[in-house]
Structure formats: C-alpha cells, structure tokens
Structure 1
Amino acid sequence: MKRRELLVALAAGALAEGATRLAQGSEAQYTNEIALPKPSITGTVSLEEAIEKRRSVRNFAPKPLPVEAIGQLLWAGQGITNPDNGRRAAPSAGALYPLELYVVTAAEVMHYLPQGHRAQTRATHDLRPELRALAVNQRSVEEAPALLVVAAEPSRLTERYGARANLYADLEVGHATQNMLLQAVTLGLVAVTVGAVDGAPAARKLALPHGQTVVYLIPVGYPA
C-alpha cells in the first residue's frame, strides 16, 4: 500500500472509531411516550404475606410481562403517591429524588416518568446479553423477560447534602427496590436483585444521561 493510501486508511479508521465512541457515549433519544395504566392501590395479598413470601428467584418463564404489571412495579418504586406535593412511594432525602427507573426487554428500553405515570420508550436490539456481561455473567439478567434498572444521579443531592449525597442516594435505592420486590410478590411475579454490576459501563450501554450510573438490576418475571 502506498503511503498516501495508508494515511487515508488510518484517517478513515480513526474517524470511524471516534464516531463509535461518540455513539456509545451519547444520550439515548426516546421515540415514543406512553401513558401507563392507572396503578392499583388495592390488592388481595397483605403486606405481611408479601414480606413472608418474598424470595430471590433466578428462574423465569419466557412469558413477557404485560404493561400493566410493568407500570405497577415502576409506580411502587418511584410513583407519585401524593399529587398535592409530588411525594413518591419511596422516601427521598429532601424530596430531591436522585433515582431514575428503566426497564429493558428483548425489544425496547423504557424510561419511567413519575409525573403523569408515563414512560418514554425506544426500540433497540436486545441489550440483556450485554448487560449480563457487565453483571459478572449472571444469567438471570439475560433470561428474565423484564429487567428493571435502578440508576442514580447523586449530584441532585450534592448542593444540600455535600459529601453525604452518595450515601443518601444509595439508601433511596434500597427503599425503592424493596417496594418493587414486594409489589412483584403481590402480582404473582418473582425477582432477584443484582448488585454486582459495573455501573458506569452499564450506563453507557443504555445511553443514560451524563451523571447517571446504574446501581441495581432487578430481573423480574413469572415463575418458571
């Protein structure tokens, strides 16, 4: 190969690599917005029974989750339970709400919008195998029909709480996650929490906004 051709090829390769990095680091653009079914506030399973029945389960039936179930889970984690002041289902330091909830299925990514109980959606290839690789290869991440993703943006707390922002965000992750796990029981679903996830690469894989990192994955579905 001549010197000029070599330089052109190297330049083209560098441009392609740069474009790939830009795409991987850019924020996702959601193409659709849907209103989720109104969440139910009554059920046939008591809180005590849900606590007693909650277990970590890693085997799921291939049956997809209906949007009603997904919406109910998201509401339990971050839904607005007092429309008068915007307070949510899980306690938050200073009511600053550093968490964002996402759902990954075989065909799409959903971003929960608590105001109005809505969700943004975007079609995508199945990201679950790639997220599994970032979660020490735990097969439940790939095999669950729905993967709840709990992301945090602690900077929302920094101005008020300074160095304690990360701690308060982590505490809120626990509050919201337990709500969703107990809600799963009442819906006849099973779930498991996955904390061993490489948060920053997972956030890039999902094209989350700058400043958000993935803290928890919750594979959820019907029992096998």
Structure 2
Amino acid sequence: MNYFSARRTSRLTMWLQKLTEDAYTEFNESPAIPLPSSANPCAAAMPRPSPLHDLLSKRKSSRAFSGDVAAISDCVEILRLAYGYTAGGRRSVPSAGGFYPLQLWLAELKRGSIERVGRFDPLTGEIDHFASLDAPVQDGFRVFHVDYTGAHWMILWTVRLLPIAERYGARGYRFAVMEVGMSVQCAILACCSLGLPHIVLGGLIEQHVRLNWLRTGRRYAPQCALLLR
C-alpha cells in the first residue's frame, strides 16, 4: 500500500468510526471505585511532586509572544530532545519498525513571515540550511487566534509515509501519528524546561506548506507546528 492509499484508508476508518459509534457508553453494572477527593484536581491526580510534575505544571499555550527572543542554540536543543539521540545512544522517541519517518524543520520568522527554513539532521544534531523565503506564516494555518508577528521561531513536523506504509499498510499512518505526538510532547517539555513561551498548532494547510514553504512536492506530509518566541 502506497502513501496515498494509506492516508485515504486511515481517514475512511476514522469517518466510519465517527458515523457508527454511540454518543457515549454507560457501564451500569460495573462497580464504582471511589477516588481521592481534593479541592485541587491536579493535586489529586499528581499527589507526589516530581521533576516531571514541575515541568507539566509550567505547560501553557501562549497565543501572544513578547520578551526576549530564543537563541538558535535553544531551538537546536529542543529539536535534539524531540527527535535526536540521547546520551545513551538511543533516539528520544520510539518508532514502529525503526523506520523513523519524521522530518523536523526549523523556520526563522521575522514580523510574521518566514525568512529561512532549515532541516534538522538527527544524526549530527545540526540544522542544514534548506531555503530562504519570504512567506507569511499565517497563510499556512487555519488558525486565527495567534499573534504570528510575535513569534520568532517555528518547528514543523512532517512525515514521509511511503516506507512505513509499505511495511504496515494503513496502520503505518497510525504509527506515524503516534510518533509525531511523542516527539511533540518531548518538544513541549523542552520548552517548559527552558522557560520558553510556545504553542502547538495542528491547523496546517498541507498543500500550502508543501508547495510554498518546503517546496518538496508530496514527499513530506505536514502534521503540526510549534511556535515560540
């Protein structure tokens, strides 16, 4: 099964599930298990403080950006933690079959427009310059409640589905989406650790991103983006 068949099959499966599933499910005969009560739901869910708890407590989507601009070294650190190698020689996220079909990009923004785009190389942990552009960021999103002019960097997640779809068929798209989610969560934690305001956006206009930002045709399918100051 090729790239396009995998995408169509996955979307058809999601549509059929929405069409046939019940609005909600009741388990009337199941015993109820009481949970700890607390005035603060977060305290009940995470009663034991930990470094991870501290990071998650800092997570907040920023729709407007101001203050100091993040250094490119911070962006590279986020990319390495999101999809690079750890000190133990392993990748920061798992991948079905070890295909690692994602490609991450770093775009430098200025007054709401993309000035240049670089491609992240997980093997070297560096950014390869890809293209110089003058493309408005907002033209690539169906999201209108974000101040794009205040953002200075954008990390973009794309996926090349052909290899993983040839191995796993329609399931390959599901595995790729799982991998994107894990990588994005690592990037969010990195932003929280560095104290960088950020927001993750999924409302991409895929064709516009492919043709006007990446200019790679249909080789890479855009999935989501992270904006930061």
TM over 0.5, yes or no? Answer: yes
8 Å CA contact 2:70–2:196 kept in 1: the answer is: no
What is the distance in 2 between the residues matched to 1:113 and 1:219? 20
Q: Which residue of 2 aligns with 1:200?
A: 207
SS in 2 for 1:169: helix
1:219 aligns with 2:224: no
Structure 1 stretch displaced more, 183-192 or 203-212: 203-212
Cα offset for 1:51?
1.0
User: How many residues are treated as equivalent by the alignment?
Assistant: 173
Corresponding residue number in structure 2 for 1:159:
166
- Kept in 2, the 8 Å contact 1:58–1:140? The answer is yes
For residues 97 and 158 of structure 2, the distance between their equivalents in structure 1, rounded to whole angstroms, comes to 18
The answer to whether the 8 A contact 2:210-2:222 is kept is yes
Residue 66 of structure 1 aligns to which amino acid in structure 2?
Answer: A
Decide whether the 8 Å contact of 1:98 with 1:152 is kept in 2: yes
Does structure 1 residue 97 correspond to structure 2 residue 100?
Answer: yes
Post-superposition offset of 1:155 = 1.3
Deviations 1:172-202 (CA, angstroms, capped at 9, x unpaired):
1100001001100100101111111111321
Q: What is the rounded CA distance, in whole Å, between the counterparts of 1:140 and 1:94 in structure 2? A: 39
* 1:123 to partner: Cα distance: 5.3
Gaps of 5+ in 2: 1-49, 110-114
Residue 208 of structure 1: how far off its partner (Å): 4.5
**Worse-matched range after superposition: 168-177 or 154-163:** 154-163
Secondary structure of the residue that 1:136 maps to in structure 2? Answer: coil
SS of residue in 2 equivalent to 1:101: strand
Aligned to 1:120: 128
Is contact 1:141–1:147 with CA below 8 Å preserved after alignment?
no
Change (3 A) 1:219 1:140: farther
Counterpart code for 2:53? E
Which residue of the partner structure matches residue 186 of structure 1?
Answer: 193
Structure 2 counterparts to residues 1-224 of structure 1, below 5 A? 46-61=51-66, 63-81=68-86, 84=89, 87-106=90-109, 107-122=115-130, 124-127=132-135, 129=136, 131-138=137-144, 139-209=146-216, 210-221=218-229
Q: CA deviation at 1:101?
A: 0.6
What fraction of aligned residue pairs are identical, expressed as a percent?
24
In structure 2, give the amino acid aligned to 1:177: V
Task: Answer whether contact 1:134 1:202 (CA < 8 A) is retained.
Answer: yes
Q: Deviations over 1:61-83 (max 9, x none)?
A: 26432121011110111111266
Report the AA paired with residue 211 of structure 1: R
**2:224 partner letter:** Y
Q: Is the 8 A contact 1:105 1:126 kept in 2?
A: no
Instruction: Tell me the SS of whatever aligns to 1:103.
Output: strand
Distance in 2, matches of 1:181 and 1:126, equals: 27
Tell me which residue corresponds to 1:5: none
SS in 2 for 1:192: strand
Letter in 1 for 2:59: R
Name the aligned partner's letter for residue 106 of structure 2.
V
In structure 1, C-alpha distance between the alignment counterparts of 2:84 and 2:168, rounded to whole Å:
24
TM (normalized to structure 2)?
0.69
Q: 1:103 to 1:200 in 2, by over 3 A?
A: same
CA gap of 1:63–1:110, structure 2 versus 1, over 3 A, is farther
Q: How far apart in 1 are the matches of 2:141 and 2:101?
A: 22
Partner residue in 2 for 1:9: none
Residue in 2 aligned with 1:15? none
CA distance in 2, matches of 1:152, 1:201: 16
Cα deviation per residue 1:123-172 (whole Å; 9 max; x = unaligned)?
A: 52343x2x312212533444311011111111121122111111111111
